[in-house]
Structure 1
Amino acid sequence: MKKASIAWVSVDGGPGLALWCLPLEGGLYVVSGPGEQRAPGLSDATTATVTLRGDHGGQIVTWPAEVTRLVPGTEQWEANAPLVAAKRLNAAGTAAQLVERWAADGCALNRLAPAGVPLAEGGSLPAGSGAEVPRESPAVRQTRKPFRLHRVRRRR
């Protein structure tokens, strides 16, 4: 877990979403909300399921997580939000400005801490790929036939 930068997080049995995270103090910190990544239901959840993958791309562990939302102005927020902001790639402004924006925009900074024994690890990992059918999206469009400049005639 200490090398994780992407975690697949599932809330209430929903699909696992790939989320940027920062491992810190035995947990994973995830930021979501306006201007950040989408994580439907995570900001209000108390539990989630986290799946981590190894360097080779395969699943290495799935564990239940206790979700704790850090509230701006609290001691936990003041201690951890700047650390998460400092590691946030491609953010506009300084880490302090980013923390202020998260607090002002109502972004959720959640800590996902292991809560119990892993659900799958080592020999108990599924043998299949775990691939799912793509979800419906307005970005999906029908594939058209290739364009041809001329008709090819067959000789008889």
Structure 2
Amino acid sequence: MTEPQHFGAALVEEATKKSGLVWVRGTGPDRALWHVWHEGAALVVGDGPGEQPLPGLADGGSAEVTVRSKDKGGRLVAWTAAVSELAPRSPAWEAAVAELKGKRLNAPDAEEMPERWARECRVLCLTPRGSTTDLPAGSLAAAPLPTPVTTRQPVPASLPRLLLKRGKKTGKAAKS
């Protein structure tokens, strides 16, 4: 490995380790995916109920990974990955799931999660292939993908009364 390639590999590893989120493009749209860096590769889990979608990422395929800065959110490095799906309950899968389980936030079934992942999800290994790729010069802004999830809903009828009660209690405590 030449000096520039060595530095590129180190940059990919350090940046990806420190970022909790990477942008991945397979044959589908770019997706922001949470991941864990383990033994020289980014590990992701998804495509099951309650987990992140992994469209366009197929075993034996490739993907473009863009790593963002954890503090500023800007693009740091982009790299090409070889995608491989880990067979459920294989030694590599067990090691990957042990790492992923510790980083999975807000899991509804923390103890049963590995069993659910084995039954219903895919665990993918994104291994850097070669050196880094050039970062795009322009903005990669795009319209959000359609989703049934929404945060806009009518305000519950009881909410204004609850907020007024809270304000009155605070006011009484301040006078005392």
Q: TM-score, normalised by structure 2?
A: 0.67
**1:4-153 pair list within 5 angstroms:** 4-12=19-27, 14-35=28-49, 36-44=51-59, 46-54=61-69, 55-95=71-111, 97-105=112-120, 107-120=121-134, 125-135=135-145
Higher share of residues assigned helix: 2
Letter in 2 for 1:19: L
How many pairs align? Answer: 133
What are the Cα deviations for residues 76-107 of structure 1, in whole angstroms up to 9, with x where unaligned?
01222122112111012334x111011112x1
Change (3 A) 1:136 1:78: closer
Three-state SS of the structure 2 residue aligned to 1:19 is strand
Letter in 1 for 2:74: G
Write the distance in 2 (CA, Å) between the matches of 1:135 and 1:83. 29
What are the Cα deviations for residues 35-91 of structure 1, in whole angstroms up to 9, with x where unaligned?
211111214452111001112111111110011111112110122212211211101
Three-state SS of the structure 1 residue aligned to 2:73 is coil
Q: CA RMSD of the aligned region, Å?
A: 2.2
Change (3 A) 1:53 1:44: same
Q: TM-score, normalised by structure 1?
A: 0.75
The aligned residue for residue 164 of structure 2 is none
**Which moves more between the two structures, 126-135 or 55-64?**
126-135
Identity %: 42
Write the distance in 2 (CA, Å) between the matches of 1:133 and 1:76. 37
- Unaligned stretches of 5+ residues in structure 1: 140-156
- Unaligned stretches of 5+ residues in structure 2: 1-15, 150-176
Residues 4 and 22 in structure 1, CA contact (< 8 A), matched pair in contact too: no
Residues 4 and 23 in structure 1, CA contact (< 8 A), matched pair in contact too: no
Residues 43 and 108 in structure 1, CA contact (< 8 A), matched pair in contact too: no
Residues 87 and 93 in structure 2, CA contact (< 8 A), matched pair in contact too: yes
Letter in 1 for 2:36: L
Change (3 A) 1:136 1:67: same
